[in-house]
Amino acid sequence: MTIVFGGIDLPIFEMLFIVSVLLLTGLFVMILGIFYVLKEVRELKNVLKKEEENIGKFEKGIADLESFRGGDSKSSELKNYIQDNLKKGYSWEMLKQQLTSQGFEEKKLEEIYLGIKR
């Protein structure tokens, strides 16, 4: 027995089968999308956790340097600190900003940085 839909003879079973396949396909794609989003969120959390650890280490290093403020005898230690952090991937601008906020003179920092670049 067939039923006419819009002038086309299609059995109800075939239509239900096609609709079911389309719905299941859509559901499958949605589930895959949810898993992908969850995976990306997990990776982002890991990246943020590593960045927080790096920032903590950086701030600890800055705190260690507070005792070096203004002393010429300690400029080699400051130079080593700057070199180490540049090797770790921190930008010069970020280092300079942090050190000047801790009380180091920008002119002295520039001199040390130019000495490192040579």
Q: Could you read off the pLDDT of 19-75 as tens digits, one per residue? A: 999 999 999 999 999 999 999 999 999 999 999 998 888 888 777 776 555 545 567
Q: Which residues contact 67 (CB under 8 A, 6 or more apart)?
A: 74
- pLDDT tens-digit map of 80-109: 888 888 888 888 888 888 888 888 888 888
Could you tell me where the beta strands, DSSP code E, fall in 13-102?
A: none
d(CA 1, CA 118): 90
- pLDDT tens-digit map of 8-18: 666 788 888 99
Residue for token digits 């002295």? 108
